[in-house]
Amino acid sequence: MIRAKITGVIKTLGVRIKDILEYPYDWVTAKRWLSAINTKPLAFDSTEKKIMVVVPHADDEILGIGGILKKHDKMGHKICFIYTTDGRKSWSRNLDEDQMATKRENEANQMCKMFSDAEAVFIKARSMEWIAEEIVDRLHQELIKYHPDIIYVPLGLDINYDHVLNSISLNKALEKSQFPYCLRVFSVQTPIPSDYLNLDCDISKEFAFKKKALEIFVSQNTMKKSFRKVLFFNRLLAQRYNYQLACECIWELSKPTYDDITALCLSGIDLSKTKTITRGRSIKNSCSNTFPPSLIHGISGISRISKRNTAN
């Protein structure tokens, strides 16, 4: 027993030292960001049985909330993944655009099988070449059909065009959908400002699952460095709460606050050129690989969002 405990401590210490050596800059600068977090533990309600996750790409769901989704799964909740784009613009030496789109769909289906009761819906807008209006009706139909209790969506204030459009499209689809739901925003690679996060989730028991699920996305091998960064970030958050291994934090918000985000998204995007224009940087110059610059980048305007109550 004592021996197992000592081994555990040494192992944790080893991981921490590795993290400090790999991400020294983030390690230091993230402290301030972490200290501003003030969240409550996420409670899982057995009456909220239908979960919908609206993402532009296969891998966003696991990167952002893989642990939380596994917890829903353990509660016996049903999950519907909606993929708005075909993700064809991901770069790979061996795949052309069509092959990439097919591969990403296959990977999403494979990932789905890791959950007890999950389905995937592929809307297939051409990645980086679509406008929100094209997709709003499809999303609206899926919302009406599935009637989710909880909807998860990545933060739209991102430098990735698909992420911005995904968020705008869902917002417009929700305008048409008159039913009660709980709305939760998560970060993929652009962190949400810490004082907006309001729920945390200890995913220590689900962390191995999250890592395993991420391994499915082999089409994203060139992004593996940023995958590792997200896991590092989960470990960093765990320290803030003294959780054993890992933590995910999210922002539960009201529709009016989501409207404010959407207004900001629209101000940072050039639909005619299908690219984000936030601070004049192109998507290609994305620094989403590094924590503090990405924190500053896509979300500088977020301070203008009024903090309204979180009830929907």
Residues that bind Zn ion (CB under 5 A): 57, 60
Q: What minimum distance in Å lies between the beta carbon of 110 and Zn ion? A: 17
Q: What minimum distance in Å lies between the beta carbon of 309 and Zn ion? A: 29
Burial class (CB in 10 A: 0-12, 13-18, 19+), 238: buried
Residue 94 structure tokens: 């061996």
What 8-state DSSP symbol labels residue 45?
-
Residue 275 structure tokens: 């690219």
Q: What minimum distance in Å lies between the beta carbon of 56 and Zn ion? A: 5
Nearer to Zn ion, 57 or 103 (CB): 57
Amino acid code (one letter) for 233: F
Nearer to Zn ion, 37 or 230 (CB): 230
Nearer to Zn ion, 54 or 201 (CB): 54
Nearer to Zn ion, 39 or 67 (CB): 67
What 8-state DSSP symbol labels residue 266?
H
Cα angle, residue 233 at apex, residues 207 and 163 outer, rounded to 5°:
95
Q: At what angle do helices 224-241 and 207-215 cross, to 10 degrees?
A: 170
Residue number with the smallest Cβ distance to Zn ion: 57
Residue 147 structure tokens: 């009637």
Q: What minimum distance in Å lies between the beta carbon of 275 and Zn ion? A: 15
Nearer to Zn ion, 60 or 200 (CB): 60
Q: What minimum distance in Å lies between the beta carbon of 85 and Zn ion? A: 8
Alpha-carbon span 146 to 140, nearest angstrom: 10
